[in-house]
Amino acid sequence: MIFLETAYIAGGCFWCTEAIFQRLKGVEELTSGYIGGSVKNPSYREVCSGRTGHAEGVKVVFDPQIISYRTLLTVFFATHDPTTLNRQGNDVGTQYRSSIFYVNNEQKQIAEKLILELQETTFDDPIVTDLVAEMPFYTAEEEHHNYYNDHSEQSYCSFVISPKIQKLKQNYLHLFENIMINENFNIESTSLTTELKANFSEIISLLGENIEREGLVKTPERVSKAMKFLTSGYEMDPKQILESAMFKEDYNEMVIVKDIEFYSLCEHHMLPFFGKAHIAYIPNNHIVGLSKIPRVVDVFARRLQVQERMTEQVLDCINETLNPQGVAVVIEASHLCMMMRGVQKQNSSTTTSGFRGTFKETDTRNEFLKLINSSLT
């Protein structure tokens, strides 16, 4: 299951902001529009007048397992001037102000922390970016969508947007994919897919099938994209995911996130194994955003795996990053490699566990095991 998040940002002309964020790995959907004003469904002309109070902004739907909210904001600050009030270059007006509209307290804290860091290390002049709670977002007129992709030869695109994209590629190359724009102007990755497609075509042919058959024509491409997704954990940094939402807190009792669904591939036969993970930790001056724990599970699950190693990887990652008083991990899974083939035991399941710190103590471990097996009402 993919857990997508949403970010709302405004940093000058939305033609530019849209073009930049479309080209980032992990951005699943992007919409240009108006946010932060007092008038419902404003038009572009009304917003440009300055009377509605809206900023030109974008709604970014992203996969936080591929690109974190902090990384999105880092790109945001790197591609506009957050120290000029109501202005970006020659674009002047309140609609061009720098703003972040957080959707929850976690986003607010991440933004506040990053602004403080950038003020100390990067910007000499004061950062004037507004940090406000989410407000109604109104989608812009059709002609403003995919503007750079459709009009890259226009002077504004050539002299303002293109240099920003090139600069960003130089500084944040690892965030970009080799990209193409399909007939619907959606950004799609082409890196690796072509080579995988050729190999899967050959495999299907070697199995005795006709690769030109209607039902199989697009199968190599589909399988290639599926495999890239199912092994996308290799491109993710689980420690960075945890570090992006660590907060100082005096709470020192057990925190449990249980029944975390996951799907992985057995590295021996490349058949799925799937189940649930139950994770607990006892904080040591720091807590972590609860959503980050399932995401760490997915990072390690989306690799060629064995359940035993995955258990240890999740355990060690949380232990080394949070430095808690203790960590506990229990994983229950069914393995198709022994259900569909081999011994063909359809009702079998496998449980693995690992404990660090205070969870090695019998009483603490037993409390955890009791809680994950209970139904609290």
With vertex at residue 195, the alpha carbon angle to CA 191 and CA 267, rounded to the nearest 5 degrees, is: 95
80 is annotated as an active-site residue: no
Task: Give the span between the Cα atoms of 63 and 2, in whole angstroms.
Answer: 7
Q: Identify the active-site residue in 134, 154, 269, 286.
A: 269
What's the pLDDT score for residue 85? Answer: 93
13 is annotated as an active-site residue: no
5 is annotated as an active-site residue: no
pLDDT tens for 309-368 read: 999 999 999 999 999 999 999 999 999 999 999 999 988 999 999 999 999 999 999 999
What's the pLDDT score for residue 45? Answer: 87
What's the pLDDT score for residue 196? Answer: 87
Q: Tell me if 10 sits within 8 A of 55, measured CB to CB.
A: yes
Task: Give the span between the Cα atoms of 229 and 235, in whole angstroms.
Answer: 10
What's the pLDDT score for residue 187? Answer: 39
Q: How far is CA 19 from CA 155, 166, 261, 354, in A?
A: 15, 11, 35, 45
What's the pLDDT score for residue 256? Answer: 96
pLDDT tens for 13-48 read: 999 999 999 888 888 889 999 999 999 999 998 998
Q: Is 185 left (phi over 0), alpha (psi -120 to 50) or beta?
A: left
54 is annotated as an active-site residue: no
Environment class of residue 373 by beta-carbon count within 10 Å: exposed (0-12), middle (13-18) or buried (19+)? exposed
Q: Identify the active-site residue in 188, 249, 268, 308.
A: 268
174 is annotated as an active-site residue: no
Q: Tell me if 14 sits within 8 A of 56, measured CB to CB.
A: yes
Q: Where are the alpha helices (DSSP H) in the chain?
A: 14-22, 44-49, 69-78, 105-121, 147-150, 155-156, 162-171, 193-206, 219-230, 238-243, 292-301, 307-322, 362-372
The stretch 282-289 carries a mean pLDDT of 94
Q: Identify the active-site residue in 13, 157, 266, 317.
A: 266
Q: What is the mean pLDDT of the chain?
A: 89
Residues in the chain: 377
**Is a pLDDT exceeding 90 seen at residue 285?**
yes
Q: Identify the active-site residue in 151, 312, 337, 367.
A: 337
pLDDT tens for 8-17 read: 999 999 999 9
pLDDT tens for 157-214 read: 888 888 888 777 766 666 554 443 333 333 344 456 678 888 999 999 999 999 999 9
Residue among 183, 161, 170, 226 nearest 21 (CA):
161
153 is annotated as an active-site residue: no
Q: Identify the active-site residue in 267, 308, 320, 361.
A: 267
Partner residues linked to 351 by β-bridges? 332
What dihedral do alpha carbons 156, 159, 164, 165 form, nearest 10°? 80
pLDDT tens for 59-86 read: 999 999 888 999 999 999 988 999 999 9
Residue among 295, 303, 234 nearest 272 (CA):
303
The stretch 279-291 carries a mean pLDDT of 93
Q: Identify the active-site residue in 56, 307, 313, 317.
A: 307
Return the minimum-mean-pLDDT range out of 101-110, 217-226, 268-277.
217-226
48 is annotated as an active-site residue: no
